[in-house]
């Protein structure tokens, strides 16, 4: 006899031991028939040990047998069907196999001796000998051991409760050899009951296994806009990492416009005068080649407000300036942000203003280093003066005159002397080679 359990992780086909545990199998089949297990949580998942379910309340303290459903609290439990150890074929491991030797074994989760109701568990590991002789084994999983593995791998809290709800969605009885007890047919629903999330089992605070983000419920335009924004943010972070953006959150300024197709002779002053009709021009930069200094024929013009920039965009596009029809567009560059960013970096690296005047006392809070006096060492070397207000030193002749022309003559004399032009040996001119030119062969 078999039952199909449809779970949120997949389908399980269970084969029942109707001969070895008839009471437990009949209870399980009839509860499946009245859809008692539908929407029950796997409330206790112990990795590589057991997967427990069958409690409609999801707390592990509820559930009742089919007799309890039909006849009340006094018939809530039924007796164990545990074989005697060592007696008969069912009590040995080599016999009927009713031990917890294999993964996928199904047994009743009781609250004590002869206190079986509706809860059951599926073993998630092999050779669980500690459970033998304590619980009624009434079936095993024949198809869907991969589903058992997926439930076993679920993330759980310290109490074994999965963070994402795993439920039995439907139960389908494939074969039922037992007759229905009186009154059972009245409890068989025409359709599967709907899921009702209760506060007492804590399921409302957890996500369902088939949960999908709210993006699917939003309009398509909003979903596309959100996806594009996420993609743009990711690209911005990547560009910041490789050094193409000063900051991932940097955005083009909305009070700047981009002007291109300029005449190379058009200057920044010309553009500032032309665009000042729309408002005060805060900046006007014609981009130039860093090596030659020539205009690259495009510029950035900034205004005080966004409205002024929009007016310039609408009225100055395709306008003739210096025999060139310019094109105006909205600003989409990081030029000004990069320039500001580099200035901030230069300031952070210790850019200094003009130092104190010569002879001025040291700044307050910083005394000059006098540690060399305490240790008997020589004073530290002093950096050369960088006072640019002083005139560069001039050459002074041996006579003490500061005539630069005389100094140049003296240096020329020394160069001439070292090249062999002096009269120390009288042969300076003879050592100097004369460059031969065509026609010198006949000269004699």
Instruction: Please tell me which residue, 50 or 338, carries the higher pLDDT value.
Output: 50
Q: Residue 368 has which token pair?
A: 């000059």
Nearest residue to 32 via CA among 12, 8, 46: 12
Summarised one tens digit per residue, pLDDT across range 243-254 is 777 777 777 788
Summarised one tens digit per residue, pLDDT across range 386-427 is 544 444 444 344 444 445 566 566 566 555 555 554 444 444
Query: What is the 8-class DSSP label of residue 129?
Result: G
**392 burial type by CB count under 10 A (0-12 exposed, 13-18 middle, 19+ buried):** exposed
**Which of 258-262, 339-343, 416-420 has maximum average pLDDT?**
258-262
Instruction: Please tell me which residue, 246 or 4, carries the higher pLDDT value.
Output: 4
Q: Does domain 2-208 have CATH number 2.40.100.10?
A: yes
Domains of the chain by residue range? 2-208, 213-250, 256-344
> How far apart are alpha carbons 386 and 428 in whole angstroms?
44
Nearest residue to 13 via CA among 159, 179, 119, 148: 148
Work out the number of other CB atoms within 10 angstroms of the CB of residue 269: 10
**pLDDT recorded at residue 221:** 86
**pLDDT recorded at residue 243:** 74
> How far apart are alpha carbons 85 and 93 in whole angstroms?
10
Average pLDDT over residues 413-442: 52
Interhelix angle 306-316/268-275, rounded to 10 degrees, is 100
> How far apart are alpha carbons 367 and 189 in whole angstroms?
93
Q: Residue 293 has which token pair?
A: 């200094």
The whole-model pTM stands at 0.49
CA dist list (Å): 124 to 4, 16, 58, 140, 380 = 18, 18, 20, 12, 77
CATH superfamily of the domain spanning 256-344: RRM (RNA recognition motif) domain (3.30.70.330)
**pLDDT recorded at residue 88:** 39
Q: What percent of the chain has pLDDT over 70?
A: 68
Summarised one tens digit per residue, pLDDT across range 88-132 is 333 333 334 589 999 999 999 998 899 999 999 999 999 999 999
Average pLDDT over residues 227-237: 86
For all residues of the chain together, what is the average pLDDT?
78
**pLDDT recorded at residue 197:** 67
**pLDDT recorded at residue 6:** 93
Q: Tokens 């594009």: give the residue.
A: 228
Work out the number of other CB atoms within 10 angstroms of the CB of residue 280: 10
> How far apart are alpha carbons 282 and 305 in whole angstroms?
10
Query: What is the 8-class DSSP label of residue 278?
Result: G
Alpha carbon 256 to its chain's center: 32
Instruction: Please tell me which residue, 285 or 196, carries the higher pLDDT value.
Output: 285
SS3 201: coil
Specify the range with the lowest mean pLDDT, choosing from 218-232, 353-367, 403-417.
353-367
Summarised one tens digit per residue, pLDDT across range 307-321 is 999 999 999 999 999
Nearest residue to 254 via CA among 339, 312, 338, 321: 312
């Amino acid at each position: 006899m078999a039952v199909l359990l449809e779970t949120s992780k997949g389908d399980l086909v269970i084969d029942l031991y109707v001969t070895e545990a008839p009471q437990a199998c009949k209870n399980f089949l009839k509860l499946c028939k009245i859809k008692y297990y539908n929407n029950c949580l796997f409330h206790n998942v112990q990795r590589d040990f057991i997967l427990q379910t069958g409690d409609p309340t999801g707390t592990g303290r509820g559930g009742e047998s089919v007799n309890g459903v039909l006849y009340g609290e006094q018939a809530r439990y039924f007796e164990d069907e545990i074989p005697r150890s060592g007696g008969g074929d069912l009590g040995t491991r080599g016999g009927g196999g009713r031990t917890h030797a294999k993964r996928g074994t199904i047994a009743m989760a009781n609250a004590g001796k002869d206190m079986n109701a509706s809860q059951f568990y599926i073993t998630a590991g092999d050779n669980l000998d500690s459970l033998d002789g304590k619980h009624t084994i009434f079936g095993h999983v024949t198809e869907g051991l991969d589903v058992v593995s997926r439930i076993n791998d679920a993330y759980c809290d310290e109490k074994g409760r999965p963070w994402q709800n795993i439920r039995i969605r439907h139960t389908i009885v494939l074969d039922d050899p037992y007759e229905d007890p009186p009154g059972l047919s009245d409890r068989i629903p025409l359709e599967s009951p709907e899921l009702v999330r209760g506060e007492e089992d804590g399921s409302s605070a957890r996500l369902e296994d088939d949960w999908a983000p709210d993006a699917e419920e939003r309009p398509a335009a909003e979903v596309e806009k959100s996806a594009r924004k996420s993609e743009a943010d990711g690209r911005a972070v990547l560009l910041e990492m490789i050094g193409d953006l000063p900051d991932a959150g940097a955005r083009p300024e909305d009070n700047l416009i981009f002007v291109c197709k300029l005449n190379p002779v058009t200057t920044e002053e010309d553009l500032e005068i032309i665009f000042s009709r729309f408002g005060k021009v805060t900046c006007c930069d014609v981009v130039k080649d860093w090596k030659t200094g020539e205009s690259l024929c495009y510029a950035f013009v900034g205004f005080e407000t966004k409205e002024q920039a929009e007016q310039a965009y609408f009225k100055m596009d395709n306008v003739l300036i210096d025999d060139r029809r310019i094109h105006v567009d909205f600003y989409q560059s990081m030029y000004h942000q990069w320039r500001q960013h580099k200035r901030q970096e230069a300031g952070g690296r210790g850019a200094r203003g003009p130092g104190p005047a010569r002879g001025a006392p040291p700044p307050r809070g910083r005394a000059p280093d006098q540690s060399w006096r305490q240790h008997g060492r020589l004073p530290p070397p002093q950096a050369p003066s960088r006072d640019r207000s002083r005139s560069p030193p001039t050459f002074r002749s041996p006579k003490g005159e500061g005539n630069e022309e005389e100094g140049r003559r003296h240096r020329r004399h020394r160069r001439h002397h070292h090249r062999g032009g002096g009269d120390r040996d009288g042969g300076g001119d003879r050592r100097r080679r004369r460059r031969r030119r065509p026609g010198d062969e006949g000269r004699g």
